[in-house]
Structure 1
């Protein structure tokens, strides 16, 4: 429980919430091999956009931008990243009960 409380304190400094939701992110490997807290910055909608996407601008849910909080973790595995996101989001839901 101490580790969870310590992590929650650090996460609150970076995200504004002790138990943020997590998402998959595209990293240098250009695959969804990373994870990070969901971005909730003031300019999230403006920054999380691919303006020259074929067919018009599109929201980029998996990109990392200046507004995105830390930590941003590279796992080098799409399966491990997806698993960790599921675990962390399950922990968030369990803590909300």
Structure 2
């Protein structure tokens, strides 16, 4: 329980949110094998954009930009990344601390 409380405080300092949601991210492997807190930074809409996408500018939900909070974790496994995002998001919805 002590580690959970400490991690929650560290995440709050890094994200500004009590219990941040998590998302899958594309990492150097170019697959969704990583995870990170959802970006809530200033100008996130402007920064999370692929301007030269073939179908026009599109929002990049899985990219990592300077505005994105840490930690950004590489698992090297799509299955493990999906599992951890699901687990961490379930924890944010849990009211116990």
TM class, shorter-length: over 0.9
* Deviations 1:24-55, CA, capped at 9 Å, x for gaps: 00000000000000000011000000000011
TM-score by length of 2: 0.96
Give 1:51's aligned residue: 51
Instruction: Tell me the SS of whatever aligns to 2:94.
Output: helix
TM-score by length of 1: 0.96
Give 1:37's aligned residue: 37
Instruction: Tell me the SS of whatever aligns to 1:35.
Output: strand
Displacement of 1:95 after TM fit? Answer: 2.4
Cα RMSD, aligned residues only: 1.0
Q: How is 1:67-82 mapped onto 2 (pairs within 5 angstroms)? A: 67-82=67-82
Instruction: Tell me the SS of whatever aligns to 1:95.
Output: coil
Instruction: Tell me the SS of whatever aligns to 1:42.
Output: coil
Displacement of 1:94 after TM fit? Answer: 1.3
Give 2:86's aligned residue: 86
| Count of aligned pairs | 96
Q: Which stretches of structure 1, 4 residues or more, deviate above 6 A after TM superposition?
A: none
Distance 1:39 1:9 in 2: 17
Displacement of 1:18 after TM fit? Answer: 2.8
Instruction: Tell me the SS of whatever aligns to 1:4.
Output: helix
